């Protein structure tokens, strides 16, 4: 499907999701907006500049406080906008800044939106975000074919910058990693239905991978170094990396093993061979997206370590002591 350029460089306010994984899954929607001729101005949390550094977007870090946000948003010179978060506050601050926004209904914010986009059940979040952008773009006659909304791409399209690629090589060299390696991301923030998103068998799997001769690499975020060391002490820890550099490390890995978490989506976004482990949640909605991404677990019960090890051997050619 081709796009007739109508944005003509219009600055478009884009309030990004609050979580790393959600921003990764929103990348095809951002690409759609840009291909439609808009100049997306991305507004998000402090991790966003490092995540999208290689994509060439204009990025604004979200200030704290309603008054500061309204002032900052007003100064962006955006007439229209798109809200990925579903919160009332995101719609309220944009409205006070004089920006006419499109977004999903919910949280009592419909009256604050200029375009209310209905949700469709059964979609992956990549498709939900893409459909949200399509409704804003499709509000004007910008498509040469209007019958269907765009088919989601196979790739999320994250590209680390040359600087981040160089930093990834340097970090691996300093850690003494000079051959094939496996990235393990054993931590996850939050719960689903009151249940942890952390697979309880990472230590066992790491021991099996290490016994098979694999170099293990972990990239702890701020304040995570001690927790990471407690779970997988044998891993070479690359601390202090921004998200784009972390993604560049994942792209070089033989495999990435993660919970339903930001690192899982980060790895999928650069087409790394990633395994997402799901013991709760819905992998059909938030599973890793990409041609080399796969899921172990049904979203109801945690898989056994042998099941994950077998998957690594059969699907990725990663030897593991079973």
Task: Please determine, looking at this structure, whether the domain spanning 162-316 carries the CATH number 3.40.50.2000.
Answer: yes
**Residue matched to tokens 């399509």:** 134
Query: Phi-psi region for residue 176, left (φ > 0), alpha (ψ -120 to 50) or beta?
Result: left
- For residue range 288-311, list pLDDT tens digits in order: 999 999 999 988 899 999 999 999
pLDDT at 140 over 70: no
Q: What is the predicted pLDDT for the residue at 175?
A: 96
Q: What is the predicted pLDDT for the residue at 100?
A: 96
pLDDT at 5 over 70: no
* Percent with pLDDT over 90 in the chain: 81
The two counts, helices (H) then strands (E), for the chain are 13, 14
Q: What is the predicted pLDDT for the residue at 320?
A: 81
Residue 105 has φ and ψ, to the nearest 5°, of: -75, 170
Q: What is the predicted pLDDT for the residue at 7?
A: 59
The confidence band for 4, taking pLDDT boundaries of 50, 70 and 90, is: very low
d(CA 279, CA 89): 32
Mind giving me the DSSP string for 102-143? Answer: EEE--TT-GGG-SEEEPP-TT--HHHHHHHHHHHHHTTSS-B
**Element holding 230 (H helix, E strand):** helix 225-231
Q: Could you tell me which residues come within 8 angstroms of residue 121 by beta carbon, excluding any fewer than 6 positions away?
A: none
CA distances from 96 to 62, 68, 71, 310 (A): 15, 11, 9, 54
Do 52 and 59 touch, CB atoms closer than 8 A? Answer: yes
The confidence band for 141, taking pLDDT boundaries of 50, 70 and 90, is: very low
The confidence band for 154, taking pLDDT boundaries of 50, 70 and 90, is: very high
- Return the higher-pLDDT residue of 107 and 115: 115
d(CA 38, CA 32): 9
* Percent with pLDDT over 70 in the chain: 94
Domain spans, the chain = 11-137, 162-316
Please name every residue paired with 63 in a beta bridge, in sequence order, or none if there are none. Answer: none
Span 51-78, mean pLDDT?
97
pLDDT at 149 over 70: no
Mind giving me the DSSP string for 147-214? Answer: SSPPPPPS-------HHHHHHHHHHHHHTT--S-EEEEE-----EETTEE-S-TTHHHHHHHHHHTT-
Q: What is the predicted pLDDT for the residue at 322?
A: 67
Mean pLDDT of the chain: 92
- For residue range 258-275, list pLDDT tens digits in order: 999 999 999 999 999 999
Do 244 and 53 touch, CB atoms closer than 8 A? Answer: yes
- Burial (Cβ within 10 Å: 0-12, 13-18, ≥19) of residue 214: buried
d(CA 165, CA 132): 32
Q: Can you read off the two tokens belonging to residue 61? A: 């870090």
Do 42 and 50 touch, CB atoms closer than 8 A? Answer: no
Q: Can you read off the two tokens belonging to residue 88? A: 């009332």
Q: Do domains 11-137 and 162-316 have the same CATH topology?
A: yes
Look up the CATH architecture of domain 11-137. Answer: 3-Layer(aba) Sandwich (3.40)
Do 314 and 308 touch, CB atoms closer than 8 A? Answer: no
Please name every residue paired with 259 in a beta bridge, in sequence order, or none if there are none. Answer: 277
Q: What is the predicted pLDDT for the residue at 76?
A: 97
Q: Can you read off the two tokens belonging to residue 12? A: 């478009």
Q: What is the predicted pLDDT for the residue at 78?
A: 97
- For residue range 171-225, list pLDDT tens digits in order: 999 999 999 999 999 999 888 888 899 999 999 999 999 999 999 999 999 999 9
pLDDT at 2 over 90: no
């Amino acid at each position: 499907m081709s796009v007739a350029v109508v944005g003509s460089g219009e600055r478009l306010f884009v309030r990004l999701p609050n979580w790393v994984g959600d921003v990764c899954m929103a990348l095809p929607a951002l690409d759609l907006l840009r291909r439609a001729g808009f100049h997306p101005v991305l507004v998000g949390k402090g991790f966003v500049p490092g995540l999208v550094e290689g994509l060439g977007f204009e990025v604004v870090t979200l200030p704290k406080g309603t008054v500061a946000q309204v002032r900052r948003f007003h100064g962006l010179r955006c007439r229209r906008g798109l809200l990925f978060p579903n919160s009332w506050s995101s719609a309220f601050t944009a409205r006070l800044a004089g920006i006419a926004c499109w977004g999903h209904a919910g949280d009592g914010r419909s009256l604050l939106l200029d375009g209310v986009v209905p949700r469709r059940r059964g979609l992956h979040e990549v498709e939900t975000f893409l459909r949200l952008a399509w409704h804003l773009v499709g509000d004007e006659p910008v498509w040469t074919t209007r019958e269907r909304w765009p088919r989601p791409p196979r790739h999320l399209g994250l590209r680390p910058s040359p600087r981040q690629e160089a930093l990834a090589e340097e970090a691996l060299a300093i850690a003494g990693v000079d051959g094939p390696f496996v990235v393990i991301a054993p931590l996850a923030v939050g719960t689903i239905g009151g249940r942890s998103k952390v697979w309880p068998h990472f230590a066992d799997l790491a021991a099996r991978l290490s016994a098979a001769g694999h170099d293990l690499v972990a990239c702890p975020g701020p304040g995570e170094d001690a927790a990471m060391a407690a779970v997988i002490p044998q891993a070479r820890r690359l601390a202090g990396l921004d998200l784009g550099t972390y993604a560049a490390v994942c792209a070089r890995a033989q495999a990435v093993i993660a919970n339903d978490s930001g690192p899982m989506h980060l790895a999928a976004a650069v087409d790394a061979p990633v395994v997402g482990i799901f013991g709760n949640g819905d992998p059909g909605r938030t599973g890793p997206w990409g041609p080399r991404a796969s899921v172990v677990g049904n979203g109801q019960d945690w898989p056994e370590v042998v099941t994950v090890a077998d998957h690594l051997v059969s699907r990725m050619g990663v030897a593991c002591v079973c």
